[in-house]
Structure 1
Amino acid sequence: MKKLDGKSLDIVSENVEKLKELFPEIFEEGKIDFEKLQNELGKFIDKEQERYNFTWNGKQEAKKIAQTPSTGTLRPAPNESKNWDTTQNLYIEGDNLEVLKLLQKSYHKKVKMIYIDPPYNTGKDFVYKDNFKDNIKNYLEVTGQVDSEGNRLSTNSDTNGRYHSDWLSMMYPRLKLARNLLKDDGVIFISIDDNEVANLRKLCDEIFGEDNFVGNIIWQHSIQGKGYGGKLSIHHNHILVFSKNTDFELGMFKRTEEDNKNYSNPDNDPNGDWRTGDVRNALDRPNLKYNITTPSGNIIKHPDNGWRWSKETLNEKIKSGEIIFNEDETRIIRKIYLKNQEGRVPESIFDGKKFGTTRDGTTELKDLFNKPPFDTPKPTLLIRKIMELNCHENDFILDFFSGSATTAHAVMQLNAEDGGKRKYICVQIPEPTDEKSEAYKAGYKNICEIGKERIRRAGEKIIVDNPDKDLSNLDIGFKVFKLDSSNIKEWDSDFDNLEQNLLDATENIKEDRTSEDLLYEILLKYGLDLTLPIEEKIIDGKKVFIIGFGALVVCLDDNITTDIVEQIADLKEEYETEVMRVVFKDSSFKDAVVKTNAIQILKQHGIDEVVSV
């Protein structure tokens, strides 16, 4: 019986296999000859020491961390969730580095848009620990604000000699892993301030590719003056935008009443409302310099740079009525029809009055909590506008620096507006709140508690605020999962003595773990969506989980008999599925004979993949 692998997706192994398919001749005794690979790519190894290269102290370690599989899991927390059985949204508590690794199989190339608002490296507001020997342990230590020796963690102070290096080492593996989750037409938006925008641009050029740089949006986060202290009063942040592939194009913003206010129909044109447009060419085009003869014989001289169109095209526009003349036929007027305007092309400057400010974000939290439990939150309007540019009605949106859960709030708002079914995945480390803060006084001991409560309150408020809409199908729920070590003892064992540990193990599931804990770990290892419908059946007193309408069947109870195995095998015919995989606990079977017979019974029913954990 096959044993289920306890690690997350091994990115390195997958890449090596792809190289073997493309370039089998570069392998010698199972290892890559990189000089041969260079030759196959038509490149020669650059041995010059002086060349353009973006690097920092710790970069190689950051690369290694991105490639190291996780042996952790995500444990379900239904009691902290909302609408557990029906929701398609996820809220995950834990170090986002480990969580991103665990999502590699289940959400590979499924995310349409990523928005993140990472720590801005001011020297005050993010906890960073550069000991990556055990990231799950690191996460548990960070939540307790102490290191492995019990010493209090410090922030990334700007007096630290590795001030920029530490921040880049924190961001590199996370962005590397995040790229894998993007669909081929996916895009990432990253909020950042002036402290690291230059380094972040270079980092993203390397990870996403320079050709996939879409733009740098300047967002006016504050309209009010901030005084003067000998430097510029800063009113903006940057939002760097990168696509997964070069053939990506941003969409358009939905048109608003403000956008349409200049359109009217003074001449009762059957094509509807219109506004005037430019008829001159922006560049000097000698071949487009010709005079126009009006119906009454008047001559209209060409503008200095020429017309926008050829003479033939302009005459066609006159015939169709798109080009008309003024009353005395001394100039031409171009009509731009409202019905032909699909949307508004995005510009690189986001005005705070149109896209919201941090003050607007704070006001939104006041409406939900009375006293805002979170500083300088992003406004939902900003995130909604960004989603308008590339997110369709069924897309996944990921935010792995979730903070106060603005992204989740914005997804629900946009779905309420247009009837979409967009789904979010929010990830946040449960960083403790300051004991002097309003959040702590209100009972929120960590940031995750704030985020979850915001989603609960925001969803209900959206329904109350839209009594004229049928929002019965609006998904205002979320499933909570929490990062933890594996439910399986072997996967946490000393690997130097792994064989002996396996032989000695009689019960390999940790005592404090439930069958549901183990079930979701199995879903992660199989690469299945964590929100797939799960049906429970009781067969001779044993609980059987049926996932994906029979694609996967899991039984984690003890004392499994041959009769129970027979009934599980019958499920293949009941669900009429071509492929069914069955998973048992390694210690589930009544005895060794039943375990041996189980494989044969299932094979006779066309079930070839039988796995134990």
Structure 2
Amino acid sequence: MSDIEKIHGITPDLTKENVDRLLALFPDVATEITDPKTGRTERAVDFDALKERLGDVAEGNRERYQFTWPGKREAKHLAREPIAKTLRPVKERSKDWDTTRNLYIEGDNLDALKLLRENYAGKVKLIYIDPPYNTGHDFIYKDNFGKTVAAAKSESGDYDDEGGQLVANPESNGRFHSDWCSMIYPRLLLARDLLTNDGVILISVDDHEAVNLKKICDEIFGSESFCAQLVWKSRQNKDNRSVTGVSIDHEYVLMYSKSPDKRVFRGADRLEDAYQNPDNDPRGPWQSANMVGLATEDARPNLHYDLINPKTGINYGKPEKGWRYDQRTMNRLIKDDKIIWPSSPNGRPRRKKFLSELTSDLAGFSSIIGDRIYTRNGSLEIREYS
């Protein structure tokens, strides 16, 4: 029996799981409460005792760094709330059921994440999410779950399979950004639980919610887990309809890793052809590297000094932004004969960078992604399959 066929019933109570984890760390803050609905007595956290244990770090500080919006508390609760649903295999519509390692799920993605968490928590290496960008047209959400189906259907709008009304999120909505944040927050909380210890999550977004998404991800995954905000040139041709005169031709992919200290992308093989050995240096092939700095003299005075060839006495002066290395490091490079000295004082000394000194055979992965792959390419592919 496959894992998918075993996913059914009531999903775990994430609040209880968090309480158990907390009490495992601090057993002295445990207490017991009686549920007024069921009459059952269960363990709970004594928050007064927990504050004494940890110290009232933020207590009484009205001004503190945080990101919030109307509905955030409900969004957190939604992620923890158990559901009684089942993933039902549809073998007659499946291909290679007994051998495939792929899984396609139709349904509410929040429910699907809760169901998948039971069997796949901590097992997913890579998650890619392409959520609605909240342009005012592509974001649809459930509205007022308390309405009866009959009452809801008497109003205008679309409906899901359960009779819930689906409402567009126009910019005239007073909670335009809040509704989007409340939609994405619980889904990212559950996605985090699915990742392996070295797992990576990538999320597509554009300027409508990029700032809010970054703040939410910093909170859920930790700002130290942020790897990069990749930039994708999504538009092939300029948009001349823009009121500002600026054609927005790009989107973003936010990337977070649960092990940010490790290499996330393999990258491309380094082009070793760029390394030559024209002077038969016994240390092997090398290429020249720029030594000009990037800081003004006010900002980094230790990088601004006259560079003199000790053998010829030629003074090459100092660039406007100084040198890349301080004098101590530069003297070591000179001693090791790793400086290429021009014959003219108007030339610019450069450093010998040896192939043998590289710590990796892989070049860095550029934050500018995609090569002539635009949104229209995906639209054309979908049209071919229609």
State the secondary structure of the residue aligned to 2:213: helix
Q: Among 279, 290, 315, which residue is 2:335 paired with? A: 315
Structure 1 residue 35, shift from structure 2 partner: 2.3
TM-score, structure 1 as length reference: 0.50
CA distance in 2: counterparts of 1:337 and 1:81, whole angstroms: 55
**Equivalent-residue separation in structure 1 for 2:67 and 2:191 (angstroms):** 20
Equivalence for 2:9? 6
* Counterpart selection for 1:116 from 107, 112, 129: 129
- Equivalent residue, structure 2, for 1:346: 365
| Cα distance change, pair 81–270 in 1 and its aligned pair in 2 (3 A) | farther
User: Does the 8 Å contact 1:284/1:306 carry over to 2?
Assistant: no
Q: Conserved in 2, the CA contact under 8 Å of 1:145 and 1:152? A: yes
Does the C-alpha gap of structure 1 residues 267 and 65 become closer, same or farther in structure 2, counting only changes over 3 Å? same
Tell me whether 1:360 sits opposite 2:377 in the alignment.
Answer: yes
- 1:239 aligns with 253
What's the offset of the Cα at 1:98? 0.8
Question: Normalised by the size of structure 2, how large is the TM-score?
Answer: 0.76
Q: CA deviation at 1:286?
A: 5.8
Alpha carbons 2:316, 2:348 under 8 Å: kept: no
Which of 13, 20, 25 is matched with 1:22 structurally? 25
Does the CA-based 8 Å contact 2:235-2:375 persist in structure 1?
Answer: yes
CA distance 1:300–1:87, change in 2 (3 Å): farther
Q: Is the 8 A contact 2:227 2:260 kept in 1?
A: no
Q: Is the 8 A contact 2:303 2:324 kept in 1?
A: no
Q: Which has the higher helix share?
A: 1
Q: In structure 2, what is the Cα distance between the partners aligned to 1:71 and 1:150?
A: 18
Q: What is the match of residue 353 of structure 2?
A: 336
Cα drift, residue 310 of structure 1: 4.0
Percent identical pairs in the alignment equals 42
Deviation at 1:226, TM superposition (A): 1.0
Distance of aligned partners of 1:307 and 1:191 in 2 relative to their CA distance in 1, 3 Å threshold:
closer
For 1:18-167, what aligned pairs fall within 5 Å after superposition?
A: 18-29=21-32, 30-44=43-57, 46-47=59-60, 49=62, 51-131=64-144, 145-146=158-159, 153-167=166-180
* Alpha-carbon offset, residue 163 of structure 1: 1.9
SS at match of 1:237: strand
The correspondence of residues 548-563 of structure 1 with structure 2, limited to 5 A, is none
Identify if the C-alpha distance between structure 1 residues 248 and 338 changes in structure 2 by more than 3 Å, giving closer, same or farther: closer
Task: Give the Cα–Cα distance (whole angstroms) in 1 for the partners of residues 21 and 160 of structure 2.
Answer: 39
Residues 44/312 of structure 1: CA separation in 2 closer, same or farther (3 Å cut): closer
Q: Please list, as runs of the form range in 1=range in 2, the aligned pairs for 1:462-481 lying within 5 A after superposition.
A: none
Change (3 A) 1:5 1:175: closer
Match of 1:177 in 2: 190
The answer as to whether partners of 2:78 and 2:186 remain within 8 angstroms in 1 is: yes
Q: Matches of 1:202 and 1:112 in 2, distance apart?
A: 23
Alpha-carbon distance in structure 2 between the residues aligned to 1:323 and 1:87: 58
Q: Which residue of 1 aligns with 2:150?
A: none
Cα distance in 2 for residues equivalent to 1:307 and 1:203 = 37
Task: Name the structure 1 match of 2:309.
Answer: 292
1:93 Cα deviation from its structure 2 partner: 1.9
Contact 2:268–2:365 under 8 Å retained in 1? no
Task: Answer whether contact 2:305 2:317 (CA < 8 A) is retained.
Answer: no
1:259-278: per-residue Cα shift (whole Å, max 9, x none)? 66755555566777643212
Distance apart, 1:235 and its partner CA: 0.6
Q: How many pairs are equivalent? A: 346
- CA deviation profile, 1:456-513 (whole Å, cap 9, x unmatched): xxxxxxxxxxxxxxxxxxxxxxxxxxxxxxxxxxxxxxxxxxxxxxxxxxxxxxxxxx
Distance in 2 (alpha carbons) for counterparts of 1:202 and 1:97? 20
Q: Give how far 1:101 is off.
A: 0.6
Do 1:38 and 1:45's aligned partners in 2 also have CA atoms closer than 8 Å?
no
Say if 2:145 and 2:164, in contact at 8 Å, map to a contact too. Answer: no
Over 3 Å counting, the alpha-carbon distance change for 1:184 and 1:355 in structure 2 is farther
SS at match of 1:188: strand
Q: In the TM superposition, what is the alpha-carbon distance from 1:229 to its structure 2 partner?
A: 3.6
Residue type of the alignment partner of 2:364: V
Change (3 A) 1:33 1:337: same
Matched ranges for 1:389-428 at <5 A: none
Deviations 1:9-47 (A, max 9, x none): 332222111211211221222332212212212224524
2:145, 2:301 → 1: CA distance?
60
CA-CA distance at 1:227 after TM superposition: 0.7
Q: What stretches of structure 2 of length at least 5 have no aligned partner?
A: 1-6, 33-42, 147-156, 295-299
| Alpha-carbon spacing, 1:334–1:355, altered in 2? closer, same or farther (3 Å) | farther
Give the conservation status (yes or no) of the 8 Å contact 2:143–2:166.
no
Instruction: Look up the SS of the partner of 1:219 in the other structure.
Output: strand
Provide closer, same or farther for how the CA distance between residues 128 and 5 of structure 1 changes in structure 2, counting only shifts above 3 A: closer
Q: CA separation of 1:26/1:372 partners in 2, compared to 1, >3 Å: closer, same or farther?
A: same
What letter corresponds to residue 240 of structure 2 in structure 1? G
Shift of residue 94, structure 1, vs aligned partner:
1.8
Paired residue for 2:289, among 277, 293, 310? 277
Q: 1:215 is paired with a residue of what secondary structure?
A: strand
Deviations 1:511-567 (A, max 9, x none): xxxxxxxxxxxxxxxxxxxxxxxxxxxxxxxxxxxxxxxxxxxxxxxxxxxxxxxxx
Q: Give 1:79 shift.
A: 3.4
Q: Is the CA contact 1:288–1:307 (under 8 Å) kept in the aligned structure 2?
A: no
Compared CA separation, residues 260 and 284, structure 1 to 2 (3 A) = farther
Q: Which has the higher contact order (CA 8 A, sep 6+)?
A: 1
Q: CA deviation at 1:114?
A: 1.7
Q: What is the Cα deviation at residue 177 of structure 1?
A: 0.3
Amino acid across the alignment from 1:235: D
CA distance in structure 1 between the aligned counterparts of 2:164 and 2:97, rounded to whole angstroms: 38
Cα-Cα RMSD: 3.6
For residues 149 and 69 of structure 1, the distance between their equivalents in structure 2, rounded to whole angstroms, comes to 18
2:223 maps to what in 1? 210
Distance (Å, rounded) in 1 between the aligned partners of 2:262 and 2:49: 33
- Contact 1:280-1:303 within 8 A present in 2 as well: no
SS at match of 1:75: coil
Distance 1:10 1:279, change over 3 A: same
